[in-house]
Copies of this chain bind each other. A is one copy, B any other.
Amino acid sequence: MTQPDWIAAEWGAAHLRIWQIGAEGRVLSTAESGEGYEQTDAPGPALRRLLPDLDASVPVLMSGAGLLPSPAVPCTPPVAAQAREEDGLRLLPGVAQETPADLLRGEEVRVAGFLAMNPRFDGVVCLPGAQSRWVHVSAGEIVSFRSFLTGTLFAGLPRLAAPEAGWDEAALVEAADRAMGRPAGIAGDLAAVLAEMRLKGLPAGAASSQALGLLIGLELAAAKPYWLGQNVALVGEGALVAPYRAALAAQHVPVVQADGARMALEGLKVAWRG
């Protein structure tokens, strides 16, 4: 295979994804493993397990490395010059926020990628995940952000893994609406979903959709200042994107959508060019 000019890498909560980049920014190949920063503290060895034949002379630019500069908001787009060299990698720092304590680990690069593709965007970027992030962007910079543990809370629920057959959107939206109206009831409402499975034969797909809807509704109630009357861009991939889109649509929030992995690559290219 052609030797790549450089390697773009995103270290996420539950994945390590790389793109081998050739002449004129062409993607020569991609690869992905499950060794995210929740699974290991060492991105170098994880990268070499994913790319055992990697030539040490090829530079690697990695986002999500999570070793952070001093708290600094607003945030200008990431550039490779900010990267710290460690273990043969160039690690792009994340963003730390002082109050409320919060951080971005790679999402800031996805936001930069989205802004590169949508240079006139002003509004809020919502990035679903183990932690969902709501990032307020103005004039090409990150103004503030807020994280929610929604995806993690959902993943920890027994017997309610994401349905293979897809979401029951009506059940999800109804549950989200219920949780927005009565957020304190969430732990009781989740117990009731499990009880309805057992006592009334509620199908697993509808139960799962209700449970996720409740948790997204709780998040939307608290994140309201981020989405009410705002342009919202939904940036992500995987099973959580459609539920967020449906719940936001039910609140009459117009949403533009972009693929998360694609935005990560575009953001890493922006940082590489400097």
User: Contacts of A150 on B, CB cut-off 8 Å?
Assistant: 187
For chain A, residues 107 to 145, give those with C-beta under 8 angstroms from any C-beta of chain B. Answer: 131
Given contacts A158-B38, A184-B222, are A195 and B153 in contact (CB under 8 A)?
A: no
Question: Complex formed: what's the CA distance from A149 to B100 in Å?
Answer: 27
Given contacts A147-B195, A156-B157, are A187 and B101 in contact (CB under 8 A)?
A: no
Interface size class of A (residues with CB under 8 A): 35 or more
User: Contacts of A147 on B, CB cut-off 8 Å?
Assistant: 188, 191-192, 195
Closest to A103 in B: B195
B218 & A101 in contact (Cβ 8 Å cutoff): no
For chain A, residues 173 to 199, give those with C-beta under 8 angstroms from any C-beta of chain B. Answer: 183-188, 190-192, 194-196, 198-199
A199 & B152 in contact (Cβ 8 Å cutoff): no
Given contacts A101-B200, A103-B199, A184-B222, are A152 and B148 in contact (CB under 8 A)?
A: no
Task: Write the nearest CB–CB distance from A88 to chain B, whole angstroms.
Answer: 24
Per assembly, the copies of the chain total 2
Question: Complex formed: what's the CA distance from A157 to B155 in Å?
Answer: 9
B148 & A188 in contact (Cβ 8 Å cutoff): yes
Given contacts A131-B191, A187-B218, are A198 and B156 in contact (CB under 8 A)?
A: no
C-beta contact mask, A204-217 vs B, less than 8 Å → 1, else 0? 00000000000100
Question: Complex formed: what's the CA distance from A56 to B185 in Å?
Answer: 46
A102 & B215 in contact (Cβ 8 Å cutoff): no
A191 & B102 in contact (Cβ 8 Å cutoff): yes
User: Contacts of A223 on B, CB cut-off 8 Å?
Assistant: 188
A18 close to B (CB within 8 Å): no
20 contacts between A and B (CB under 8 A): A97-B195, A100-B192, A101-B200, A102-B195, A103-B195, A146-B191, A148-B187, A148-B188, A149-B157, A149-B187, A149-B188, A150-B187, A153-B153, A153-B156, A153-B157, A153-B187, A184-B222, A186-B186, A186-B218, A188-B223
5 more contacts with CB within 8 A, not counting A68-B199, A188-B222, are: A66-B198, A102-B192, A103-B198, A149-B188, A184-B222
